[in-house]
Amino acid sequence: MPKKYIVFFKTIGRKWFAFLIIAIIIIAFFNPVTAIWMAVITIILFFLSYIPRIFFKNKLHKFMKGFYKIEDELIARKLKKSLEKVREEMFELSQNQLKKKWLIVFLNKQYIFYHQETIQAFKEVYNKGFTEKEILDNLKDYKVNTRTEIKAIKEGLIKLERLSERETSVKEHQDKQRFS
């Protein structure tokens, strides 16, 4: 069990902004010029606290682009960040992927990133009328391993309206294969 003074300092550390605002208000009664300087410094520190998050988001996105498919747990391990932080950033990226060429899906309680080449290959075989099993066989090189992943990709692309109607239906494709 942590010592009481450690818990006290962690609580203050989490709420530093509120304590600082209260201190500025108290100082403003005695010396307004000092309070203005403290307020300016507080605002600068507040904005500087967002810089590491912006750098992490860019680093995460560049890292993910190096893989055809990568899961959040592997990202957290490779980047040596907490899984919770990685999932939070991947959630934000998944909410803003409407015009992106890559895809992030939430499957089996984890986020999975699919590179734009993987998505393009999926669209090509999907439009040719391939069944889920045939799509899976064609996407083995892109590290897609299960039919549930195929379904998740398909549902994600349909939800984002990035998957057009099939050029050839599954039935037509099967008939072509059977009679040729």
Average pLDDT over residues 130-147: 90
* pLDDT bucket at 175, cuts 50 / 70 / 90: confident
Residues 38 and 65: their CA atoms lie apart, in Å, by 42
Instruction: Measure Cα distances from 69 to 40, 73, 118, 120, 153 in Å.
Output: 45, 12, 8, 13, 12
- Digit-coded pLDDT (tens) for 89-129: 999 889 988 888 999 999 999 999 999 999 999 999 998 88
3-class DSSP string for 49-88: CCHHHHHHHHHHHHHHCCCCEEEHHHHHHHHCCCHHHHHH
Sign of CA dihedral 66, 73, 94, 88: negative
* pLDDT bucket at 1, cuts 50 / 70 / 90: very low
* pLDDT bucket at 2, cuts 50 / 70 / 90: low
**pLDDT at residue 149 above 50?**
yes
* pLDDT bucket at 23, cuts 50 / 70 / 90: confident
**Spatial CA neighbour of 113 closest among 66, 162, 156, 70:** 70
Neighbouring C-beta atoms of residue 4, cutoff 10 Å:
8
Q: What is the pTM of this model?
A: 0.72
**pLDDT at residue 6 above 70?**
no
Look at residue 12 in the predicted model and tell me its pLDDT. 65
Residues 139 and 141: their CA atoms lie apart, in Å, by 5
Instruction: Give every strand in the sheet of 103-107, ordered side by side.
Output: 69-71, 110-114, 103-107
Residues 169 and 42: their CA atoms lie apart, in Å, by 62
Do the Cβ atoms of 59 and 69 come closer than 8 Å?
A: no
CA 134-136-139 angle, 5° bins: 110
Give the chain's radius of gyration (CA, Å). Answer: 25
Look at residue 168 in the predicted model and tell me its pLDDT. 75
- Digit-coded pLDDT (tens) for 48-104: 777 777 788 888 889 999 999 999 999 999 999 889 999 999 998 899 888 889 999
